[in-house]
Amino acid sequence: MSMMRTSMFGYPNQDRTIGVSINGAAFQMATLRYGRANFSSLCTDDWVTASDYGRVCITSTLAPFYSSFLRAGADSCSDSTQVYSTAKCTPDKRFSIAVR
Tell if the pTM clears 0.85, that is, is over it: no
Look at residue 84 and tell me if it is in a domain: yes
- Provide the residue range defining the domain that includes 56: 7-21+28-94
- State the total domains in the chain: 1
| pLDDT by residue, tens only, the chain of 100 residues | 445 556 778 888 999 999 998 888 899 999 999 999 999 999 999 999 998 888 999 999 998 888 888 888 777 888 999 998 898 888 877 666 666 6
Look at residue 52 and tell me if it is in a domain: yes
Q: Distance between CA atoms of 47 and 67, rounded to whole angstroms?
A: 13
Look at residue 59 and tell me if it is in a domain: yes
Look at residue 2 and tell me if it is in a domain: no
Look at residue 1 and tell me if it is in a domain: no
Torsion angle, CA of 41/47/51/56, rounded to 10 degrees? 70
